[in-house]
Homo-oligomer: A and B are copies of this chain.
Amino acid sequence: MTMNIVSPAKGARAVEQAYDFLKNAILSGEFTARMHLREGAIATQLGLSRTPVREAFRRLGAEGWLEITPNAGAKVAEWSPRDIEEVFEVRMLIESRVAGRAAQRATEAQIARLRALAEQMSAMAECPVDKVLDERSAVNAQFHDLLVEAAGSQRLKRLLDLVVEIPMVKWVFGSYQPAEVRRSAAHHHEIVAAVEAHDAEWASAAMKSHILSAHHAVMRRLRELDGLPKQEQL
């Protein structure tokens, strides 16, 4: 009775498929800024109906990747240097606060896990950049997530996720020079030390340094890219 006629993609719902495809295309620069996207075109390209594509459009709109105007469709949002600065500003404000709270509330187990992640980071710092970029991004994300967890700020996490976006993190790492990678690893260790000492001020300041350093690297990268074709935006 349960005869699967054809199951094209098990587990992956259609909306997810559309969402992932679109976000990937935007992040990779395949869909350039201000480009107009049509529901129908994407739908046929993915072999879906317009309904899930539309849903993905709305979600990406809410997250700031697309600009949706009521009867005129969606266009890819443009990120000016100023926009990126704002993102870093917010990250700095929120994450340094999170680090402070984590210092006050982290359990021994959480501190141990933080330390392990920082170690992992240091170990990877010496590898050639390209080999471990994805992995490094993942570990970094885990570190920051764990910090939020230790701070006991569930709502904040949702907000941060909206702002920080994992792929952008990867982009940050791509902007780092070797010395900056090591500095970033050192920051993580310092944050762990501050949390371990339950010193909120210290943790907050260390995190502030950490974000500002990343900010600096990204803005330098942007200036460099100014001279290049807008082919490789990521």
A interface residue numbers (CB < 8 A to B): 13, 51, 54-55, 58-59, 62-64, 70, 82-83, 86-87, 89-90, 93-94, 97, 152-156, 158-159, 162-163
Contact for A64 among B54, B59, B97, B155, CB less than 8 A: B155
B58 near A155 (CB under 8 angstroms)?
no
Residue of B nearest to A56 (CB): B58
B163 near A159 (CB under 8 angstroms)?
yes
A contacts with B: majority SS: helix
Residue of B nearest to A153 (CB): B86
Write the nearest CB–CB distance from A219 to chain B, whole angstroms: 16
Complex: how many Å from CA A86 to CA B153?
7
Complex: how many Å from CA A90 to CA B94?
7
A156 with B86, Cβ < 8 A, contacts A59-B62, A62-B59 known:
yes
Residue of B nearest to A55 (CB): B58
Complex: how many Å from CA A77 to CA B152?
18
A90 near B156 (CB under 8 angstroms)?
yes
The interface residues of chain B lying within 8 Å CB-to-CB of A86 are: 153-156
B63 near A159 (CB under 8 angstroms)?
no
Beyond A51-B51, A87-B155, A159-B162, 9 additional pairs, beta carbon < 8 A: A62-B62, A62-B63, A64-B155, A83-B154, A86-B155, A86-B156, A90-B159, A93-B97, A159-B159
A70 with B156, Cβ < 8 A, contacts A58-B58, A93-B94, A97-B93 known:
no
Write the nearest CB–CB distance from A130 to chain B, whole angstroms: 31
Write the nearest CB–CB distance from A72 to chain B, whole angstroms: 13
The interface residues of chain B lying within 8 Å CB-to-CB of A94 are: 90, 93
Residue of B nearest to A151 (CB): B86
The interface residues of chain B lying within 8 Å CB-to-CB of A155 are: 64, 83, 86-87
Complex: how many Å from CA A87 to CA B51?
34
Complex: how many Å from CA A63 to CA B97?
22
